[in-house]
Every structure is written in C-alpha cells, then in structure tokens.
C-alpha cells in the first residue's frame, strides 16, 4: 500500500472529525435567552428585555450555515477519495478509501435532505407560497 492513499484516508477521517465538530456547533443555542453564557446577566439585570423570538434572524440561519459548511467538507472528501480510487486500484487501498468515504456520503445525503425547502402550512413548498397571487380587497 503506497503512502498517497493512506494520506488521503487519514485526511478524510480528519475531515469527518471536522464535520462532527460542526454538527456539535450547529446544535448549540445561539439565542441570548437560551445560551448558558448569558444566564448570569439575565439574573443580574432586573429589567432585562423580553426574550426574542427564536425564529429571529440570524439565530435561525446559524444551523443552516453549519450544514452548508459540513456539506462542502464532505464533498471535498468525496472528490479526494474518487480521485484516489481512479489512481490506485489495489484491493486494500480501494477498501480503505471506500471505508473512509462511506460516512461522508451518508453525511452528504443527510445534509442535502436537510437543505431542501421546508413545507408551508398547506403542504406547498415555501418558494411557491411567495409566487402565489395575494387576494386583495
């Protein structure tokens, strides 16, 4: 087994660890009213402002940003493995590369499903709701 496929296999495992860290960060609350960092401030200030709506921007977009970064990293890993599979055909090298690419393929599939447009209140795509004519008086 040559050094190049080993390097790519180790690098894709490292990229998978980066995707895991981004997934952890995606799940962290970013609202000042949910994060534990601001708990002391909320207790110390008697007239603290009311909590913001959790759907307020940018709090609702931070998770999508981390998803896009993770998807991009997984795509890079898949391209690297595909290029190595074209160059190196030994069974052990191919097995190692496919084994390190499989989690990235699953992550990419999951994140692609996550980025699809959300359904509206009546089962329509969110994009189509904006295009429908509004009824006026």
Domain residue limits at 23: 3-27+55-117
Question: What's the domain count of the chain?
Answer: 1
56-60 contact pairs (CB < 8 A, 24+)? 56/31, 58/30, 59/30, 59/31
The pLDDT assigned to 28 comes to: 79
- Tens of pLDDT, residue by residue, the chain (137 residues): 789 999 999 999 999 999 999 999 888 776 666 666 666 666 777 776 666 665 655 556 788 888 999 999 999 999 999 999 999 889 999 999 999 999 999 999 999 987 877 665 555 555 544 555 555 55
Question: Is 107 domain-assigned?
Answer: yes
Question: Is 38 domain-assigned?
Answer: no
Question: Is 20 domain-assigned?
Answer: yes
Question: Is 95 domain-assigned?
Answer: yes
The pLDDT assigned to 104 comes to: 96
Question: Is 70 domain-assigned?
Answer: yes
How wide is the angle at C-alpha 88 spanned by C-alphas 84 and 89, nearest 5°? 125
Question: Is 19 domain-assigned?
Answer: yes
How wide is the angle at C-alpha 59 spanned by C-alphas 32 and 33, nearest 5°? 20
Contact 115, 67 (CB under 8 A): yes
């Amino acid at each position: 087994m040559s050094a190049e496929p080993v390097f790519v296999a180790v690098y894709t495992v490292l990229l998978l660890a980066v995707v895991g860290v981004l997934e952890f960060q995606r799940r962290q609350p970013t609202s000042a009213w949910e994060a534990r960092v601001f708990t002391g401030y909320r207790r110390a200030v008697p007239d603290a402002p009311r909590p913001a709506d959790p759907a307020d921007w940018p709090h609702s977009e931070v998770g999508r940003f981390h998803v896009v970064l993770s998807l991009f990293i997984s795509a890079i890993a898949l391209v690297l493995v595909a290029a190595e599979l074209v160059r190196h055909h030994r069974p052990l090298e191919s097995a190692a590369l496919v084994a390190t690419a499989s989690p990235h393929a699953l992550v990419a599939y999951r994140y692609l499903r996550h980025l699809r447009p959300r359904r509206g209140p009546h089962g329509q795509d969110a994009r189509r709701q904006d295009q429908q004519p509004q009824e006026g008086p």
